[in-house]
Amino acid sequence: MTSEFAGRVAIVTGAGAGLGRCHALALARAGARVVVNDMAAADGAAGEAARSVVREIMAFGGEAVAEPADVSSFAAVEAMVERVIARWGRVDILVNNAGILRDRSFARMEMADFDRVVAVHLSGSANCCRAVWEAMRRQGYGRIVLTTSCSGLYGNFGQANYAAAKTGMIGLMTTLQQEGSKHGIRVNCLSPLATTGMTEGLFTAEDAIRLTPEAVSPAVVFMASEVAPEKTIIGAGAGVYSVVHVVETGGVYLPPEARSPADFRAVFAQMSDISTARTFNTGFDQAAGFIATANRARALAG
C-alpha cells in the first residue's frame, strides 16, 4: 500500500468482480478508503461478491465497506451515499463501473432490454454523479470517472443499447466538467478493454492473457488522483493507454443557392479533410466556429 490517497474516500460501482473489483483494489492500495458497491443479496444485505472484495482489501491493510445499491434507482444510490458520508464524512472519488449486457441485433432487440441497459449504464451513472455532486461541491474537490466503451465510440454489432448508453457518457462528462470545474471537480471517461465476464469468449486465449482487468485500473487511479486531467477519454487495454479526441473539421461554407445534394457531394472531400480538424470546449464554441467560417467565406465572395 501507498499513502497517495490517504484521507480520500472512493465509491466504485459494480465492484464485486471484473474491472470494478480491480479498480477498488487499486484505489485501496493507493491508500483510499473504498466503498465496494454491488447489487444486494436476496435479503437486501451486501452480496458475497462485494464482501469478498472488502476482505481482500482488509487483508493487505486497507479500509473498505460493502454497500449494496442498484444504481438505476436514485433513491437507493442516494441512501448509499448518505451512509458513506455518515461513516467517513466525505466522498472524493466516484468510479462509475456498474453495467450489464443485453446483446442482440437491433431487429431482434426488445425495447425493454434497450431501456434496461440505458437505465443501468447511463441513468445509473447520472444517479451516482448526482448523489455525490453536492458533497463534492461543498468540499471543493471531486474526481468522477465515467465508463464509456469502444462500442460507444466506434460501434459493435448487436450492441445498439450498450453503445447508445456508452456514447451518452461522453456528453455527460463534457457537461459535468463545465459545471464542476469551478468547484474542483474533474470528470473524465475510461474506455476499457479487458477480459471479464462481460467479454468472455470474445478474445483468443493468447490475447486474453494480455487483456487483464488489472492492466486497466492504473488509468482509473490516474483519473482519480490530484493530477487528474479534465474532460478526457482515456483508452486502456493490455498495458496500452491512449487519449480519444472528439474533433470536427473546419467546414465548408455553401451559399443558399448551392446547398443541393449535388453541391454537398462536390465538396464532401473538402468537408471531410481531417487536416482542418479542431476541438471545441463547449457547444457554443462550435457555433462561434460556424459563424466565423461563414463570415470569412462571405467576405471573400465580396
Model pTM score: 0.94
> In sequence order, what DSSP letters do the residues of 218-241 get, joined into one string?
HHHHHHTSTT--SS-EEEEETTEE
Helix axes 48-59, 18-29, angle to 10 degrees: 30
Q: Which helix (H) or strand (E) holds 67?
A: strand 64-68
Lowest mean pLDDT among 6-15, 154-163, 205-214: 205-214
- From residue 47, give the alpha-carbon distance in Å to each of 23, 40, 61, 79, 298: 18, 5, 22, 17, 65
Spatial separation of the C-alpha atoms in residues 32 and 9, rounded to whole Å:
6
Q: How many CB atoms lie within 10 A of CB 83?
A: 14
Residue 302 has pLDDT above 80, yes or no: no
Across residues 74-80, what is the average pLDDT?
98
**Contact 38/49 with Cβ under 8 angstroms?**
yes
- pLDDT at site 208: 73
Across residues 6-30, what is the average pLDDT?
98
Residue 211 has pLDDT above 80, yes or no: yes
Question: Which three-class secondary structure state does DSSP give residue 24?
Answer: helix
> What letter would DSSP give residue 203?
S
- pLDDT at site 200: 64
- pLDDT at site 199: 66
Spatial separation of the C-alpha atoms in residues 78 and 84, rounded to whole Å:
10
Residue 168 has pLDDT above 70, yes or no: yes
**Contact 190/244 with Cβ under 8 angstroms?**
no
Spatial separation of the C-alpha atoms in residues 58 and 173, rounded to whole Å:
32
Phi, psi of 266 (to 5 degrees): -65, -30
Spatial separation of the C-alpha atoms in residues 65 and 69, rounded to whole Å:
13
Lowest mean pLDDT among 149-163, 189-203, 268-282: 189-203
- pLDDT at site 197: 62
Across residues 257-263, what is the average pLDDT?
98
Q: Which residues contact 261 (CB under 8 A, 6 or more apart)?
A: none
Scanning the chain, the segments in alpha helix (DSSP H) are: 18-29, 48-59, 74-88, 111-118, 124-139, 150-154, 160-180, 205-210, 217-223, 261-271, 283-301
Q: What is the pLDDT of residues 216-249, one digit of tens each?
A: 999 999 999 999 999 999 999 999 999 999 999 9
Per-residue pLDDT band at 201 (split at 50, 70, 90): low
**Contact 154/138 with Cβ under 8 angstroms?**
no
Catalytic residues: 162
